[in-house]
Every structure is written in structure tokens, then in C-alpha cells.
Amino acid sequence: MITIVLSERDFDYELQALVNSFFPWQKSTVCVETEEEIDTDAGLLRAIEKQNGEAAGKKSDAKAEEKAEDGQFAIGIVFKKKEISILVLCGSICLSKSVTVSGEDDWHRHKDKSAHPYRTYYKNELKRLLFHMLCEIPEKDLPAGIVRKIPDWGTMTGVRPTKIPMNELLQGKTGRQVEESLKQWYCCTDEKRHLCLSVAQKEAELLKDIDFDNGYSLYIGIPFCPTTCLYCSFPSYPFEQFGHLAGQYLQALKKEIVSVAKECRGHKLTSIYIGGGTPTALTAEQLDELLACVRTCFPVDDGYEFTVEAGRPDSITREKLEVLRRHGVERISVNPQTMQQKTLDLIGRKHTVTETKEAFQMAKELGFTNINMDLIAGLPGETLEDFSDTLQQIRQLNPDSLTVHSLVVKRASRLRSVLEQAGDYVQEEKIRCERMEQMLIMAQEFAKQEGYQPYYMYRQKNSAGHFGSSGQENIGFSREGKECLYNILIMEEMQTIVAVGAGASTKRYHPDKKIVSRVENVKSITDYISRIDEMIERKKGIFVAER
């Protein structure tokens, strides 16, 4: 256990995430004590003992070295007037450093810290200091069983690393200046700096003509799937069991679409994305009904991007693809996740590798010129040879874009419980994650060789209590002109995303404050159907400026 003790609760989430990125297989906890209590090594130890519920009968003036147990690992952070102090106790060693911060006195006691003009600067100074201190701990002094891994992403702990260079590019900084900033302030490796900057530059190029302030994109959620994959933690419902609700769901969904279309009048539509779930789990007639509603409600002359995530090959038929073509859908996904039949059988994908190839070729024959394929690195049981073979089979299909995801085993997935029951979960996860990192490198090399460029990226976080992988990136690669604007906009949060359907999350962009607020829909299909008027009411006035 690594204990993080703060003199006040601020930056706690970011600090814990940074510590976890150094020691991804250790549990950590955060507690708060007063500045006076943790400003010395002995005081920090007392706070830890208090946190751990240990007996308080030890001498208060004893030195930390005399009191620390071999397995003790603690970090104390004190916010002072114009100064931040960090104390690291690791076994028998003690490291202490501080950094002076400029700006207002007692910045951390500002009545509205979240709006303080120097807040980002303070956070970066704090994280950078802690990063270097954790790097300085001698390997031999780490407590038994704790292994350190210097994070490639440095102090960047968020899921959207490209937001930082994107903002700097929009401020007029050059690529060289942005890359230097990533090195100096965020301590990224050369490889991650180059990847992050190249994606941000591509995004900036693609978004240069987009109306962020007055435009919007539309997301339509279809929560049905043919079956639920073993690794899935998203709200999706097997069509065999819940398909009888599809008619009622569509009626409610169309009602919400009609309503939001009225709210969006006078604003330019950038993109439509129909996802899920698996939209093609619906019948051809139901798809036709849905798309007819969309095309009636939204202006076809806006020239917007139109994507449908066809997804599972076992849900794709010629008739459904013809419906998509008839309604002007330009971009689709045919997502195998892997081209290894043994893995497909294991994870509950009820289709064959042959069916994936047939669905892809059928889409090409019908005239689709922008087809994406999704792959997942790190699927259970897959070797590097398996992943290499998958890439070679993808090469033969030659899709227009390729999205490579890293598998993070979420607590809500059935895979988590299966792996835990199978044996030593932590040790097996360590092996799988190491293999997954190699797979991601292979995927990037493959994309480069095949002429794909990375155009959007985000990172995954393990939701199971900061325990496990520190988060790997998911990257969208594309041939020139085949990128998906919606994927960039949903990640960068620079435009309002109006989302309809069960489990959909609307992101309202506030151009004056450059922030996003959320409007959530209920996840349950039955709740969505019965409470559709409430879902509609939540989005009323979504484009009305706040006073």
C-alpha cells in the first residue's frame, strides 16, 4: 500500500493517478491531515499510523528512519504560502524537496481554486516535482514486492493527452515549441511526445474550418448487440433476449430525435455518428425507419459526415448495407477485434473470421469507400504471433482506416471475474499487459508501413480501483481523407455533442468558458422508454446562452 497524505484535498485525483502510473500493481490511498501534522518525517509517519489505524503509543519525536517499517511507502504533500513541499518516505530512506510558485499569496486558499488563473501552473509544478522524486528513489530501497516503472507519458495522467498540445497549437505555438513544452513540463518520452504532437497537428489540420462555437454533432445510441462480449462493460442488451423491445425503443428514440432537431435549428451540423451497442443488430426495416427519421429531421444540404458503426460481422447483411447506402451513410465500421477464431470463440463473438472478410467485401461491392476496422490488443490468450497474423490478414483487406484499442479489463465485465477465478489474476495481468504493450508497438509499425497516419487518440484507465495497468493509448489510424471528424470532436471536447438514446451522454460546449457540461440519459432500455419525456426535457434550451 502506498499512502498519499495531503495538507488539504486538492489535486488528489491527479496525484494518485501519477503515483499509480509509477507503481501500477500497487494499491494506493489518499488522506488529508493538517500542514503542521505532516510537515516533518516523524509527523508524516504519525499521520500514516493514524490512517492505518495503528497504535499511537510510539514516541512522537522518533526519527522516521527508526520508525519506518521495511514495507512503508508514503508521500506527504504540503501546500504552503508560495511553496509546495513534498516528503517521500520509502522504507528506510527519506526524500524532501520543495518548489517555489509565483502568483498570488496563499493561492491554494483562494475561494474558488478551480477558477484560479494559476491553477494549471501550480498543478504542473507539483506533478513535475513528484515525478522527479519518484524517479530518484534507488531501486534497492523500494519495499519488497514493489516494482517501479517510469511512465512513458510522464506526468500526463488524463485520458486525452492531445488536448494539451492542441490547445497550444491553437494559441499559435509552433510544433517545436509544443514538443519542448511536452518535454519540460510533462516529462514525456521522445516516442510519446512525437506521437502526441503528430496526432494534435493532424487534428488541428482537420478541424481548422469547423465551427466550434455554433456548430454541433449528433450521436445516436443503439444499445442492442447480437451477444455481449466477454470483455464488454458498456450498457448493451443481447437482441435475442431484448429484441422485443426494439419497436418501443425506436418510437421513443424517434421522439427524442424530433425534439433535439428543433433545439438545434440555426446551428450547423458537423457530423452524425450512430453507435452502440451494435446498430446493425436492428432489422433492415428498423434501420430504414430510424434513418428516414434522421434524414427528415436534419438538413441534408449541410454536408455533414455520416457514420454508422456496423460493428459485428454477424449482424451485417446485404439488405442492411443497402439501407445505409440509400440514406447517404458514407462511413461504416466492420469490427473483427481479432482475426483469430480461437479468440473470437473465447470472448463470445458469435461470428467467424470468414464472415468478417465476407462482410467487408460485401460493403466494398456495394460502394462504401470509407470502411474502418477495429482491433483490440491484449485479448486473453493471444500471443504476439496471433496479433501479427491478425495484422497480416487486415493488410489483405486493406481498410480505409484502422482503430487499435488496448484491452483494459473493467470491473463490470464478465472477463474480470473469469480471469480472477482462473488463478493468480495480478501475475497473469502483468504478463498480459507487457504483451499488450508490444502489440501496440507492432500496430504502430504496421500502420506506418501501410501508409496510415494517426489522427486521433485517447487513453484507457482501469476502473477497478486504480489497480492494474496504468492506461494504454487507443489510436485511430487513417488513410488521407478517410478520417472521422466525430472521433476527434468527442475526444477534444471543442464542440457540443447532442446525444440521444439509452445511455447517451450529451456534452454541451460552453465557448465563453471553454468547458463542457454533461446531460445524461438513463441507461436502462425500459427506463428510457418510460421516461422519454424526461430525457427530452433535460435537453431543452441546450443552445441557449447562460446568463
| 157-190 per-position pLDDT tens digit | 888 899 999 989 988 999 999 999 999 999 999 9
Q: Are strands 331-334 and 401-406 parallel, antiparallel or unpaired?
A: unpaired
Cα 382 to its chain centre, rounded Å, is 23
Does pLDDT of 237 surpass 60?
Answer: yes
pLDDT at 84: 85
For a pLDDT cut of 70, what percent of the chain falls above it? 84
Torsion of CA 59, 60, 66, 67, to 10 degrees: 90
Closest listed residue to residue 164, CA positions, set 216, 124, 130, 115? 124
- Rounded distance between C-alpha atoms, residue 94 and residue 47, angstroms: 15
Is pLDDT larger for residue 269 or for residue 143? 269
Q: What is the mean pLDDT of the segment spanning 409-421? A: 61
Sign of CA dihedral 213, 218, 223, 227: negative
| 77-117 per-position pLDDT tens digit | 888 777 888 989 887 788 889 888 766 555 556 556 566 66
Task: Report helix angle 414-422 to 425-449, nearest 10.
Answer: 120
What is the pLDDT of the chain when averaged over all its residues?
86
Grouping H, G, I as helix, E, B as strand and the rest as coil, residue 415 is helix
Q: Burial letters for 240-249: b for 16+ Cβ neighbours within 10 Å, e otherwise?
A: eebbebbeeb
pLDDT at 59: 38
- Rounded distance between C-alpha atoms, residue 399 and residue 389, angstroms: 16
| 110-144 per-position pLDDT tens digit | 556 566 667 788 889 999 999 999 999 998 888 88
Instruction: List Cβ neighbours of 476 (8 Å cut-off, separation of 6 or more).
Output: 401, 402, 403, 454, 455, 456, 457, 483, 484, 487
DSSP state, residue 547: -
Asked whether the whole model's pTM tops 0.85, one would answer: yes
Q: Which grid cell is 93?
A: 530512506
Q: What amino acid is encoded at 511 in this protein? A: P
Grouping H, G, I as helix, E, B as strand and the rest as coil, residue 303 is coil
Does pLDDT of 231 surpass 70?
Answer: no
| 465-521 per-position pLDDT tens digit | 334 444 578 999 999 999 999 999 999 999 999 999 999 999 999 988 888 999 999
pLDDT band of 300, cuts 50, 70, 90: confident
Region class of 172: left (phi > 0), else alpha (psi between -120 and 50), else beta = left
pLDDT at 464: 36
Does pLDDT of 433 surpass 90?
Answer: no
pLDDT at 49: 66
Closest listed residue to residue 125, CA positions, set 15, 34, 17? 15
pLDDT at 79: 83
Cα 414 to its chain centre, rounded Å, is 20
Q: What is the mean pLDDT of the segment spanning 19-30? A: 88
Question: For the purposes of burial, counting CB atoms within 10 Å of the CB of 396, is it exposed (0-12), middle (13-18) or buried (19 or more)?
Answer: exposed
Give how far Cα 538 sits from Cα of 69, 262, 490, Å.
54, 14, 20
Closest listed residue to residue 62, CA positions, set 86, 94, 34, 33? 94
Does pLDDT of 527 surpass 90?
Answer: yes
DSSP 46-84: HHHHHHTT----S-TT--HHHH--TT-EEEEEEEETTEE
pLDDT at 305: 94
pLDDT at 465: 36
Q: What is the mean pLDDT of the segment spanning 185-208? A: 93
- Rounded distance between C-alpha atoms, residue 316 and residue 334, angstroms: 9
| 367-401 per-position pLDDT tens digit | 999 999 999 999 988 999 999 999 999 999 999 99
Most confident of 119-128, 324-333, 411-420: 324-333
Name all contacts of 70-73 with Cβ < 8 Å and 24+ positions apart. 70/143, 70/144, 71/143, 71/144, 71/145, 72/45, 72/48, 72/143, 73/1, 73/2, 73/3, 73/26, 73/142, 73/143, 73/146
pLDDT at 110: 58
Is pLDDT larger for residue 488 or for residue 427? 488
pLDDT at 411: 56
pLDDT at 391: 98
Q: Give the lowest-confidence range in 39-53, 248-262, 277-291, 461-475.
A: 461-475
- Rounded distance between C-alpha atoms, residue 440 and residue 434, angstroms: 10
